[in-house]
């Protein structure tokens, strides 16, 4: 009995392999795939993000922004005669899937470069491979120390960092409220990023003579009464929120419920219109988010108009206001500009060479100019505080990027 089942299970396995061998012989042999992802009529560019997992609410939208900008470029003829083909791999926020997807983009369906990489754990795990490898990461969604320090010619951050978010947000509020020794509360979900963000906030506040307390909340929270009661005890001058959509919504609703009028700002990732809409105009009156990107439709700069008009024509009228969409769009812009500089013969090596010499991305108003130098790959560093105008259902900014430049130091 055992022998025949063993033989049969081996048979079953062998049949499977035979089937795939047959598949091989039935179809034509594959052409010699260029190792760089550059073909005669197209260039393959990789994206590695969470498109169906717990953070897909923001990361999925980023991918849409990235894809749409590339689509706009392709409709206008592509870059130097080649269309950009976006190969987006879903990692479901799972480091094992991330590792598989990364390998896929590097050697199975090779791409010239990768954008995104939204899982911090995977960034840390893959950092040695990336830095020693051949595929550059152009425009990350999140930044980790392992990948960003020391500065590597293989990595270019594409999203505002937590440190800069903390500095700008704290600096603005301390100035505006004229605080000598500010008391701040960081309300964060219990993840790696949350703790890191609080450390930066505490550092920024400490430099200005104040102190910051750290409150945590779980990701699937439904009610923040314990945290609000704690806030009532601490009596902060302003609050900063780090988390997912419901973290911000529950915080503001809770504050409103207890009649607390405390200015609050959230991180850039919390810049989606549905977050404000869910809070309601009363609760959202005290809430803004700090952002290095401008939501689509919030102002009339050339970059913003171009994004808005294109988004409207392809049915992304609502999505264009989501900050993650804009971030993806801008990363694609960065990618496209880098490719344009390479001319008719792009290769991975030449891409890395061009990028590492330093370059500036001018997004025509969507962000402050983003400058990369051989010693600084931080990405966007200048911010604005953005709130929601319920009268016209659009975002509005508090000041210009230039007003906030002093906080970037």
Partner 1 sequence: MFEQVFFSGLALGSIYGLVALGFAVIFKATDVFNFAQGMFVVCGAYFAVTAISILQLPFPLAILFIIGAAALLGVLIHMVLIQPLSGRPMLSVIMLTIALSIALRAFIEIVFGPQGRSLATPMPTGVLMLGEVRISYLHLTAALVSWVCMAGFGLFFRFTSVGLLMRACADNHEAVVVSGVNVNTMNRLAWGIGSTLAAVGGVFLGQLQIASTELEGIGLLALPAVVIGGMQSIPGAIIGGLLVGIIEQMAATYISPKSSDIVIYVLLLLILMVRPWGLFGQRELGRV
Partner 2 sequence: MNKTSKPSLSAGAWLWLLLCAAVLAYLPTLLTERAFLGMPLSNTQLLNLGLSQINLMLISMLGALSLNYLTGCAGLISIGHAAFFATGAMAAAVFDTQLGWPFPLVLLAAALAGALAGTLAGLPSLRVRGLYFVLSTLAVHYVVTYVFLEYQFKYFDVVGIPYATPRLGDWELNTPVRWYALLLPLVVLVYWGLKASLKSREGRAMLAMRDHELAATSVGVDVRILRLKAFALSSAIASVAGALFAYYLSNVTSEAFNILFAIQFIAMIIIGGMGSLSGSLVGAAIWLLLPSIIGGLSPQSSESNEFLGKLLVEHRAQLVQLIFSILVIVFLIFAPGGVAGLATSLKNAWQAWRAKP
Q: Is the CB of 8 or the CB of 398 nearer to partner 2?
A: 8
287-291 vs 384-389, strand pairing mode: antiparallel
Residue 48 contacts partner 1 per CB under 8 A: no
Number of helical H runs and strand E runs in the chain: 14, 14
Find where tokens 């505490």 sit. 202
List beta partners, residue 213.
Answer: 185
Residue 74 contacts partner 2 per CB under 8 A: yes
**Ranges within 217-236 binding partner 1 (CB under 8 A):** 217-223, 225-227, 229-230
- 19: CB partners within 8 A, 6+ apart: none
Residue 146 contacts partner 2 per CB under 8 A: yes
CA-based Rg of the chain, rounded to a whole angstrom?
23
**Binding-site member from 38, 43, 55, 56 for partner 2 (CB under 8 A):** 56
Stretch that binds partner 1, among 18-26, 55-63, 135-143, 153-161 (CB under 8 A): 55-63
Q: In what order do the strands lie in the sheet with 137-140?
A: 83-90, 42-49, 114-116, 137-140, 155-157
Residue 258 contacts partner 1 per CB under 8 A: yes
How many of the chain's residues bind partner 1 (CB under 8 A)? 41
Q: 224 with 283: CB under 8 angstroms?
A: no
Dist CA 260 CA 243 (whole Å) = 20
Under DSSP, the state recorded for 408 is G
How many residues are there in the chain?
Answer: 409
Of 307, 295, 252, 275, whose CA–CA distance to 395 is shortest?
295
List beta partners, residue 44.
Answer: 85
Residue 255 contacts partner 1 per CB under 8 A: no
Cα 238 → chain centroid: 25
Dist CA 287 CA 393 (whole Å) = 15
Find where tokens 């700069």 sit. 301
Residue 229 contacts partner 2 per CB under 8 A: no
**Binding-site member from 38, 48, 49, 51 for partner 1 (CB under 8 A):** 51
Residue 259 contacts partner 1 per CB under 8 A: yes
Q: Is the CB of 174 or the CB of 272 nearer to partner 1?
A: 272
**Smallest distance, partner 1 to C-beta of residue 324, A:** 8
List beta partners, residue 207.
Answer: none
Residue 282 contacts partner 1 per CB under 8 A: yes
Residue 308 contacts partner 1 per CB under 8 A: no
Cα 341 → chain centroid: 24
**Binding-site member from 246, 291, 333, 363 for partner 1 (CB under 8 A):** 246
Residue 155 contacts partner 1 per CB under 8 A: no
**Binding-site member from 57, 124, 285, 397 for partner 2 (CB under 8 A):** 124
- 70: CB partners within 8 A, 6+ apart: 45, 84, 86, 332, 335, 336
**Smallest distance, partner 2 to C-beta of residue 8, A:** 6
**Ranges within 88-117 binding partner 2 (CB under 8 A):** 88, 90, 92-96, 99-100, 103-104, 107-109
Find where tokens 């969409």 sit. 325
**Binding-site member from 149, 175, 176, 192 for partner 2 (CB under 8 A):** 192
Q: Is the CB of 56 or the CB of 148 nearer to partner 1?
A: 56
Dihedral sign, CA of 386, 389, 393, 394?
negative
Q: Is the CB of 93 or the CB of 372 nearer to partner 2?
A: 93
Note the residues at the interface with partner 2 (CB under 8 A).
Answer: 2-3, 5-14, 17, 20, 23-24, 27, 29-33, 51-52, 56, 60, 64, 67, 70-71, 74, 83, 85-88, 90, 92-96, 99-100, 103-104, 107-109, 120-122, 124-125, 128, 144-146, 191-192, 195-196
Note the residues at the interface with partner 1 (CB under 8 A).
Answer: 51-52, 54, 56-58, 60-61, 190, 215-223, 225-227, 229-230, 244-246, 249-250, 253, 257-259, 272, 274-275, 277-278, 280, 282, 319, 322
């Amino acid at each position: 009995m055992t022998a025949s089942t063993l033989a049969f299970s081996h048979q079953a396995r062998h049949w499977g392999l035979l089937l795939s061998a047959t598949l091989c012989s039935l179809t034509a042999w594959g052409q010699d795939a260029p190792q760089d992802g550059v073909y005669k009529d197209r260039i393959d560019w990789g994206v590695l993000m969470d498109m169906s997992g717990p953070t897909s609410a923001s990361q999925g939208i980023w991918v849409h922004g990235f894809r749409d900008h590339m689509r706009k470029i392709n409709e206008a003829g592509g870059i130097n005669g080649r269309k950009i083909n976006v190969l987006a791999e879903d990692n479901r926020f799972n480091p094992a899937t991330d590792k598989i997807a990364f390998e896929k983009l590097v050697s199975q369906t090779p791409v010239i470069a990768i954008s995104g990489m939204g899982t911090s754990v995977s960034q840390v795990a893959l950092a040695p491979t990336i830095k020693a490898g051949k595929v550059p990461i152009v425009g990350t969604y999140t930044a980790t120390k392992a990948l960003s320090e020391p500065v590597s010619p293989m990595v270019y951050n594409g999203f505002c960092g937590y440190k800069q978010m903390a500095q700008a947000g704290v600096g603005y509020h301390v100035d505006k409220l004229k605080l000598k020794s500010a008391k701040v509360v960081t309300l964060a979900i219990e993840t790696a990023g949350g703790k890191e963000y609080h450390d930066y906030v505490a550092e920024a506040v400490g430099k200005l003579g104040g102190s910051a307390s750290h409150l945590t909340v779980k990701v699937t929270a439904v009610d923040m009464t314990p945290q609000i009661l704690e806030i009532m005890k601490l009596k902060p001058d302003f609050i900063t929120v780090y988390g997912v959509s419901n973290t911000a919504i529950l915080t503001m609703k809770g504050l409103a419920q207890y009649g607390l009028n405390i200015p609050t700002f959230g991180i850039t990732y919390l810049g989606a219109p549905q977050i404000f809409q869910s809070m309601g105009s009363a609760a959202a009156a005290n809430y803004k988010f700090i952002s290095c990107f401008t939501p689509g439709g919030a102002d009339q700069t050339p970059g913003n108009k171009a994004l808005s008009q294109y988004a409207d024509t392809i049915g992304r009228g609502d999505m264009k206001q989501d900050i993650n969409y804009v971030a993806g769009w801008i990363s694609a812009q960065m990618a496209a500009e880098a490719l344009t500089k390479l001319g008719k013969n792009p290769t991975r090596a030449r891409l890395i060479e061009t990028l590492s010499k330093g370059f500036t991305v001018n997004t025509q108003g969507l962000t402050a100019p983003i400058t990369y130098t051989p010693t600084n790959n931080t990405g966007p560093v200048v911010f604005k505080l953005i709130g929601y105008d319920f009268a016209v259902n659009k975002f509005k900014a508090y000041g210009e990027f230039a007003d906030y430049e002093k906080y970037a130091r």
